[in-house]
Structure 1
Amino acid sequence: MARPVTNAAFEGLLRAAGYGNAHAAFARQLNHAGRNQGAWRYDAASVYWWLRGRRPGEHVRAAMAETLARKLGRLVAETELGFGAADSIGTCAYPASVDGAIDTAEQIWMRLSKHLEQHSSGAFDSGKTLQAALSWRYDLPDEAVNRSGRQQVTPTDVQSLYALADHFTDLDRCHGSGSPRTRAVMADFLVRQVAPMLRGTYTDVVGRDLMRAAATLSGQLAFMSYDAGEQAIAQQHAVLGLRLAKAADDRLYGAHLLANLATQAVFLGHAREAARLVEAAIDGAGRAPAAVRARLHATAATAYGQSGERRACQLALTKAERAIDRAGTESGPRWVGYFSPAHLAGAALRCLGDLHLYRQALRHAPDALALSSQNTRTRALHTALVALTHARAGDTDAACNWGRRLAQHPTGIQSARFQQRIRELASVLGPNQASPQVKGVLHALRTISAVT
């Protein structure tokens, strides 16, 4: 029984070039193209094994690209062949080209879909993230992204991807991202549906929109992985999304992804790097709509707050507040619609608390909880943050009151970030555990941790 094809990219190119059922003919042409390398003796069996995962040498790949280019009447990059680079699989490096981005997407999506349960997350690499930010900001734009591949991609096909992205976003906000099953379903969808589309046939206009949709999906998977505590996976997909956004010529979504990376860096305690990332995002976004500016400046405030830069933090908050006041009068991209005054209030609560300005921070608490019903996870995060801010301010009674409110939230929120907030609150209250009130709240917090 024949083994299944694992290199769909190479198979698609063979079919497009007329070698789909003529593997022996392709091997003969390949031997001819490589005649300067010596007496090659590749045959149909060689092609069989290349289609099933065997990796040819560098000179052979170059000859393959040359042979296919002659038949297709266009340049074929070696990265299109689907063999990848042995030292690049699974890294969070920023791909140099669109073809490299497509190769990287296929590799890391396949890896995630097959090995999600066993995957070791690894560490967040702030150096590579800053390099990606510089490449996104200063690399020249891609002149064209049109392709000729195995399947035709239409504008309707691309719109269906946006609908799926919205679906996964809704699941994430309601239930959190900690369940591997949800991310496995998404990764499988990316492998089976999106990767073949990226390898397909499309015009430059459709291709730009396809890159934007793929960036959106990769960015959503990045955020879900971050919320689940899989930091290296999150970074990989955010950097990939950044490169796809560059190919789409969508600087606003690229800035949004950089801000997400900055948010991840803040969560992990890399405040200085976070500030540089969001500064690059603000610079790269240019004259952005008000809602986008509000989101970016709010992220900057959290980075400055954690690094102790009081003046910069308060200036960023002021800019964010001014922008959110104007957001209703300007249309913005679809993905920024989530950012509300409540999200800005949550950022203010966080960064002012980091600066030990607890009284100022708690003034934002009522607004931070004025969230729509579908924002279940954010409401839980903000409630925990209010409790934590009271505890840090030394108001144990108020902290306990808010801690008990946490127990009233819907159970089953799968979020490593929420778990971290619970642990921080328990740590601050811990020295007072001799108090019956505190002891009861700590028990409730342990119960929450057990069911989320």
Structure 2
Amino acid sequence: MDAAARHRHGDTAPDHELTTLLALAGMSHKALAKRINELAELRGVSRRYTHTSVANWCRRGMAPRAPAPALIADALSERLARRVTVGETGLAGPGDLPGPAGDGPSFPRTTSVALTEAAEFWSPVKRRDVLSAAPFSAGAFSTPFLRWLIEPADPAGGARSGGGPRVGEGDVRELRQAAEDVRHWDSRYGGGSWRSTPMPALLYERAAPLLRGTYGEDVGRQLFAAVSQLARLAGWIAFDAGDDRAAQRHFVRALRLARAAGDRPLGAYVLTTMAMQSLLRGHPDEAVDMAQGAHEQAGGREAAAVRGFAKLIEARAHARLGDERAACRSLARAEELCAHDRQGQDAPEWIDFFNRARIVTDAVEVFRDLGRPRAALGWDRLAALPANRYTRCHGMRLAVVSSAHLQRGALDEALAAGRQSVAVLRTVRSARAAEHLRTLGSHLGQWRNVPQARSLLAELRPAS
């Protein structure tokens, strides 16, 4: 008999479902009680369950009040390595029927709820449950974008007295360094490489406990910013590896944490990254809106690099829409802001890639997308990012250059650039890089009767 039936009839029959699941999980009453209390603390709820509590649920059919049934299901899910629903535990009461699923992650209005939801999402069980086979959804960004646009920085409220560790500036520095190490590795080897993929585990095992810790206002704001950087990186890595919905959810957590940190430039950077994902998933109109919002709300002169990057992504979105005038205007503004940044204060380390060479790299793609191959190749001669540090970007740019040569009918030059692209990207594990090679392959298809073109197409197939 399930919990709903017991509630209706006032019975206290044993909960055989829960007893069976505990046996399958090899979990004692004491172990379950301990894990429920830990999960409750993650949600900011105080619970003090004991082995006696669990015995009462199993043997006497007593049903605990919310959120305990959901926590029990989560604890069993962790142990069994599969999703266990509340219904399977026999604890689903009359009011426990699930509501309609939302289109995407929430963007809590309060900092405390934002921290709790982030820590819960980074749990391996939660991520498996939410993200299984989920595709990209442009609508998932709508509410986060709007709420950040209205209020890009929370009022003071970074202090916390939690039950976790005392957090200091040394902890924050450790998170920042971890973000920098992963960022540089990702640029060279891609989001699918072995060192990039453990990012969610780092967030769950290291960042989440610190968010639940004790810290003052200043350290709290620094902590939120550092974890926001890690969450943005987790999203970027997931996106680069082809896991779009996971990327979206990480990005939204990062945006909310940037707001909690009161860091407008960081929030604008996260939003621009979201715009880039939307653009590359076929939603250039939404990308324009987000990039413009990021530019307007990033801040003043101190945020010149971030604002310039937003304009650069806006230029790419306009190009996909075929609006050459708007693309050129945005590109010119990106160049102006890049020059202002060099004259002003040092930009944060997480935006150090935004320089003349990065603008040139994106401009090549802008003009390729606009169908102006001569302009694209003219830009290509101006500057280049260091290939040993930005391996993925260098390889993708070569693929774009190859496509531009094909647009003007220069097959020999296209084949040379294409072969270089394949060679560079052999060490990179990146779904985005593979997409660039597939695009090159589709452009090359009309020359499939030429032996040299067939040879390159054969190289492109396994690489893409």
TM-score by length of 2: 0.78
Aligned to 1:391: 406
| Cross-structure match for 2:141 | 129
Letter in 2 for 1:128: A
* Among 154, 157, 163, the residue aligned to 1:141: 154
Matching residue of 2:25: none
Amino acid in structure 1 at the alignment position of 2:134: G
The answer to whether the Cα contact below 8 Å between 2:169 and 2:219 also exists between their aligned partners in 1 is yes
Distance, in Å, in 1 between the alignment partners of 2:309 and 2:43 is: 42
Higher mean C-alpha deviation, range 106-115 or range 206-215: 106-115
1:308 aligned onto 2:336: no
Specify which of 100, 119, 127 is matched with residue 113 of structure 2: 100
Q: Which moved more, 1:328-337 or 1:367-376?
A: 367-376
> Is 2:270 the counterpart of 1:242?
no
Map 1:105-120; keep pairs closer than 5 Å: 105-111=118-124, 115=128, 120=132
Partner of 1:253: 266
What is residue 93 of structure 2 aligned with on the other side? none
The correspondence for 2:200, drawn from 187, 193, 207, is: 187
Deviation of the 1:11 alpha carbon: 4.4
Q: What is the distance in 1 between the residues matched to 2:331 and 2:278? A: 19
Partner of 1:351: 366
Q: May I ask how many residue pairs the two structures share in their alignment?
A: 403
Name the % identity.
28
Provide TM-score, normalisation by structure 1: 0.80
**Counterpart-to-counterpart distance in 2, 1:310 and 1:275:** 14
State the distance in 1 between where 2:332 and 2:141 align.
27
- Matched to 1:138, the amino acid is I
Whichever residue aligns with residue 10 of structure 1, its letter is: A
5+ residue gaps, structure 1: 28-40, 57-84
CA apart distance, 1:113: 8.6
Amino acid at match of 2:334: A
Q: Matches of 2:356 and 2:321 in 1, distance apart?
A: 24
Match of 2:442 among 418, 427, 450: 427
C-alpha distance in structure 2 between counterparts of 1:382 and 1:318, whole Å: 20
Q: What residue in structure 2 maps to residue 176 of structure 1?
A: 190
Supply the distance in 1 between the matched residues of 2:289 and 2:43 (Cα, whole angstroms).
41
How many angstroms apart in 1 are the aligned matches of 2:105 and 2:143?
A: 10
- Structure 2 spans left out of the alignment, 5+ residues: 1-27, 55-59, 75-97
CA distance in 2, matches of 1:329, 1:97: 37
CA distance in structure 2 between the partners assigned to 1:137 and 1:284 by the alignment: 7
Distance in 1 (alpha carbons) for counterparts of 2:429 and 2:449: 31
User: After the TM superposition, which residues 26-425 of structure 1 pair with which residues of structure 2 at under 5 Å, given as runs?
Assistant: 50=68, 53-54=71-72, 91-111=104-124, 115=128, 120-139=132-151, 141-150=154-163, 151-179=165-193, 181-288=194-301, 289-330=303-344, 331-367=346-382, 369-409=384-424, 411-425=426-440
Is the Cα contact below 8 Å between 2:186 and 2:196 reproduced in 1?
A: no
Cα distance in 2, alignment partners of residues 342 and 202 from structure 1 = 40
**Matched-pair contact (CA < 8 Å) for 2:229–2:254:** yes
Instruction: Summarize the Cα distance change of 1:119–1:339 in structure 2 as closer, same or farther, 3 Å threshold.
Output: same
Partner deviation per Cα, 1:302-342 (whole Å, 9 max, x = no partner): 01111122111111111111222333222111211122222
Change (3 A) 1:26 1:99: farther
- What is the deviation of 1:252? 0.3
- 1:12–1:222 CA distance, 2 compared to 1 (3 A): closer
Name the SS for the 1:408 alignment partner: helix
- CA, structure 1 residues 227+120, in 2 after alignment: closer, same or farther (shift >3 Å)? same
In the TM superposition, residue 190 of structure 1 has moved relative to its aligned partner by 1.2
1:6-27 deviation line (CA, Å, top 9, x unaligned): 452534799x98x86x969999
Partners of 2:360 and 2:298 in 1: how far apart?
23
Cα 1:51–1:188 shift into 2, 3 Å: farther
| 1:63-117 residue CA offsets vs partner (Å, 9 max, x unmatched) | xxxxxxxxxxxxxxxxxxxxxx98779932222221221222122211379749x
Q: How far does the alpha carbon of each residue in 1:40-64 deviate from its partner, in whole angstroms, 9 at most, with x for none?
A: x999x959x94992379xxxxxxxx
